[in-house]
Homo-oligomer: A and B are copies of this chain.
Amino acid sequence: MPSVQLYDTTLRDGAQKEGISLSVVDKLNIAQKLDGLGIHFIEGGWPGSNPKDIEFFTKARSLTLSHSKLVAFGSTRRPRANAETDANLQALAGAGVKVVTIVGKSSELQVAKVLEISLEENLSMIADSIGYLKARGLTVFFDAEHFFDGFRANPSYALRVLEVAAEAGASCLVLCDTNGGSMPNEITTAVEAARKLTAVPLGIHAHNDGELAVANTLAAVNAGVRQVQGTINGYGERCGNANLCSIIPDLKLKMDIDCVTDGQLAKLTEVSRYVSEVANLVPDASLPYVGSSAFSHKAGLHVAGITKWAESYQHIDPAQVGNQPRTLVSELSGKRNILYKAKEMGLDLPPKGEEAQKLLNQVKLLESRGFQYENAEASFELLVRRANPDYEPPFELVDFMIVVERRRRPPTRKNLEEMLSEAMVKVKVGNKIIHTAAEGNGPVNALDEALRKALLQFYPSLIQVKLIDYKVRILEESVGTESQVRVLIESSDGVEQWRTVGSSTNIIEASWLALADSLEYWLLKQKGGK
């Protein structure tokens, strides 16, 4: 079983995707997840290009990675300059990592038309830069930018670039299909030519502009490449980078190539969804292997098939990649679905007969108003409990009022504005009514603070509950500021996590509903536990 090393560039090249913006904390969290997936190298960013990436590498020193090595990315020294005084190379050397990747041009036309320097100067830039970094004890990978386009137009120069990088001490020569337009057979030919040239291990960095990034990567592996670069979910500029979420199972399950363990592979779906969550991108349901539709079957021929033979309409066992099969339920099977869900949650009061029908009608009504219970099990459980006529809520909201104000300071301090957000709430617990108020960093935060202030008098243990995630999604976006808004809140008491939902045309009300559900759910669990 030959082996391949995985190099993830989600945090650098992936972050070039339109609409993604990752904070330093996001990047650190993702790096930790990638370590769990068994990625060999994690490219964390370009410390020479922006301060956020410098901060990342500083903070990353406190990460405990059991498997992955962090890599800093940068370019070769500038033309007609000195490597010793190049700010970019210095930033790389100072990033606190043991492995760095530098990118240099390997296409004659790119050197002439974009860099506008001589072909020899380009070779010197590569050699000098690798030499500088090697002299500082670093392992250096060389990204040969535009390698395949360069090879097509002038193969001898493209290969000469590789030779120079190898002689300068690069530990891996990564062949980049920068514009993403190469075909698999071109990849094979060029990789074979590079292999004949040098014994230094080769890598592949593909983009998806012809919808062939995965195929090109596999073609390169078949031709002898030993390092594969890509991103989670194929995120990246334009049409994206090669998608590691497809490449990893293709390599391991289809080509029998060693890259991650069975246990690591089973985390693939979780990592894919985690990254889309952190990047705040709607997960693509149709993603191979990891998408929520990847193993789903509509009723009919296929479902009939899989009931007879599980493999009849699926190419692998979804559990191998941590995904699961789904049979799409029609509206008619809703009642069974609700019963199944209630049972799955181990509810004391699984609704029966008419009660279940009533509950189903309510779920349908609420879903038509924008509620969605797939990601909000705690709100669903409350819905089931509230269907019981004996249910007593731990608190009830009477009124609330929120004021948000923006006032300019006096003219002497022109242009300084102040935002003020306050909430007043009236809450009933048993027979008592509490009327209180709080300020906050925005209206929802003020409401949150005021509600807790009121309830803490009765339930001091609520202090453990923290909101760890707050998401807003606009439904029916085309109606502008009058749109229906869905709020999803994730809470934690330090041990468990639960999710609640609220929906309204008013974002404050939607937030209130999700907030109140979150606290009510936790209080019920405490009561049940006693």
Contacting residues of chain A (215-257) with chain B, CB-CB under 8 angstroms: 215, 218-219, 222, 234, 237-240, 243, 246, 249-250, 254-255
Which of A91-99, A163-171, A294-302, A382-390 contacts the other chain?
A294-302
Minimum C-beta distance from A47 to chain B (A): 13
A515 contacts which chain B residues (CB < 8 A)?
481
With contacts A312-B113, A400-B405, A404-B401 taken as known, whether A293 is within 8 angstroms of B374 at the C-beta atoms is: no
Task: Say which one of A11-19, A118-126, A267-275 lies at the interface with B.
Answer: A11-19
Please name all residues of chain B whose beta carbon is closer than 8 Å to the beta carbon of A502 when the two chains form the complex.
none
CB neighbours (8 Å) of A110 from chain B are 305, 309, 312
| Chain B, Cβ-Cβ closest to A402 | B404
Selecting from A21-29, A189-197, A335-343, A455-463, the interface stretch reads: A21-29
B507→A181 contact, CB < 8 A? no
A154 at the binding interface (Cβ < 8 Å): no
A495 at the interface (CB under 8 A from B): no
A399 (CB) vs chain B CBs: closest residue = B407
How far apart are the CA atoms of A524 and B485 in the complex, in Å?
31
Copies of this chain per assembly:
2
Of the listed stretches A2-10, A63-71, A279-287, name the one at the interface; the rest are far from the partner chain: A279-287
Q: Is the C-beta of A448 less than 8 angstroms from some C-beta in chain B? A: yes
Are B23 and A476 touching (Cβ within 8 A)? yes
* Complex alpha-carbon distance, A466 and B480, angstroms: 8
With contacts A75-B301, A404-B401 known, is A210 near B254, CB below 8 A? yes
Known: A113-B308, A443-B508. A18 touches B296 (CB 8 A): yes
Q: Is A198 interfacial (CB-CB < 8 Å)? A: no
* Most B Cβ at <10 Å: residue of A109, A367, A472: A472
Contact with B along A71-113 (1 / 0, CB 8 A): 0000100000000000000000000000000000000011001
CB atoms of B507 and A444 under 8 A apart: yes
Number of interface residues of A (CB under 8 A): 133
Residues of chain B within 8 A of A445, CB atoms compared: 480-482, 505
Q: Of the 9-residue stretches A31-39, A131-139, A313-321, which lies at the interface with chain B? A: A313-321
Measured between C-beta atoms, what is the minimum distance from A74 to chain B in Å? 11
Residue numbers in B under 8 Å from A419 (CB-CB): 504, 506, 508-509
Q: Can you name 13 extra interface pairs (CB under 8 A) apart from A210-B214, A210-B246?
A: A110-B312, A113-B309, A179-B314, A183-B254, A210-B249, A211-B250, A215-B215, A402-B402, A419-B506, A444-B481, A445-B482, A470-B474, A481-B515
List residues of A whose CB falls within 8 A of some B CB.
15-19, 21, 23, 25-26, 49-50, 52, 75, 109-110, 113-114, 116, 178-181, 183-185, 208-212, 214-215, 218-219, 222, 234, 237-240, 243, 246, 249-250, 254-255, 278, 280, 284-289, 291, 293-302, 304-305, 308-309, 312-316, 328, 330-332, 367-368, 372, 374-375, 397-408, 419, 421, 440-445, 447-448, 466-478, 480-483, 485, 489, 504-509, 511-512, 515
